[in-house]
Amino acid sequence: MVRAKHEILGSSHRRNESGPPRDPLFRCWLHVDATPNDPRSEGPTPLTSRNEPRLIRETGLDARIAALAEPVIEDLGFRLVRVKCSGRNGFTVQVMAERPDGTIGVDDCEAISRNLAPVIDAEDPVDRAYHLEVSSPGIDRPLVRRSDFERWAGHVAKIELSEGHDGRRRFRGPLLGVEGETFGIRIEDAPEGTPDAAWLPFGLLAEARLVMTDDLIAASFKAAKKASAELAAETDDEDATDEPSVH
């Protein structure tokens, strides 16, 4: 798919500042991104529901903004992936979102930004001027839902647990899918003579994200090419339907 990002300068200011709010500043650009594919299939596996709960949630200010963002994003037909505030560009509120099928475009990001910015400004959780950045999850995306671990089976991920499991909290390796309330990972650095696979409880999950690999990049270009061909075919069909009949 195509990675999309849209950024708007928030009108929220420090309470001791005065003067009119600044005009919104928009920045849009494209970047090739991966559409998740099961390595055993030719196409992406549909996600189950845009309302599937997230396993990993924010804390502090990130959590307050996520609580505002999630219903807005879902009303527009998308799913929230993550909210993260940082000191980049002064202060940036990054919101990652996607459609239920894992895609998102520039126009989608712009629609989310325009609907979300007034909600954040009205509730005023940010005490300074900020950049609201809405984007796709990216190639090395966070894994936040159970379906992510099924959908990305076969790709390398980095995992961090909230507490130790069999003596360790951090794991890296290809995902093995889901069994019950656990997900599997093949451990790249397993000591010789020890099991090279672990099944970890979802309940201990603290952080998870994909790792950029050649296979992932190759899948990205393949998926982007397929999506472009499908879009072109849909456009041709619509043009044919709109043509007036000749009698």
Q: What is the mean pLDDT of the chain?
A: 81
pTM for this entry: 0.76
Given this model, what pLDDT does residue 5 score?
61
The domain defined by 2-135 folds into: GMP Synthetase; Chain A, domain 3 (3.30.300)
Given this model, what pLDDT does residue 224 score?
66
pLDDT digits over 37-88, tens only? 443 344 444 455 567 999 999 999 999 999 999 999 999 999 999 999 999 9
Question: What are residue 118's phi and psi, to 5 degrees?
Answer: -65, -30
Per-residue tokens: 125: 């959780």
Phi-psi region of 173 (alpha: psi -120 to 50; beta: other; left: phi over 0): left
CATH class of 146-210: mainly beta
- Least confident piece of the model among 40-54, 115-129, 203-217: 40-54
Write the CA distances from 177 to 168, 174, 184, 200, integer angstroms: 20, 9, 6, 11
Closest CA to 222 of 31, 5, 43, 101: 43
Given this model, what pLDDT does residue 36 score?
43
Given this model, what pLDDT does residue 203 score?
96
pLDDT digits over 141-180, tens only? 999 999 999 989 999 999 999 999 988 999 999 999 999 9
Write the CA distances from 207 to 79, 84, 161, 237, integer angstroms: 18, 13, 7, 43
Q: Are 213 and 193 in contact (CB under 8 A)?
A: no
Q: What's the mean pLDDT in 89-104? A: 92
Domain residues of the chain, as ranges? 2-135, 146-210
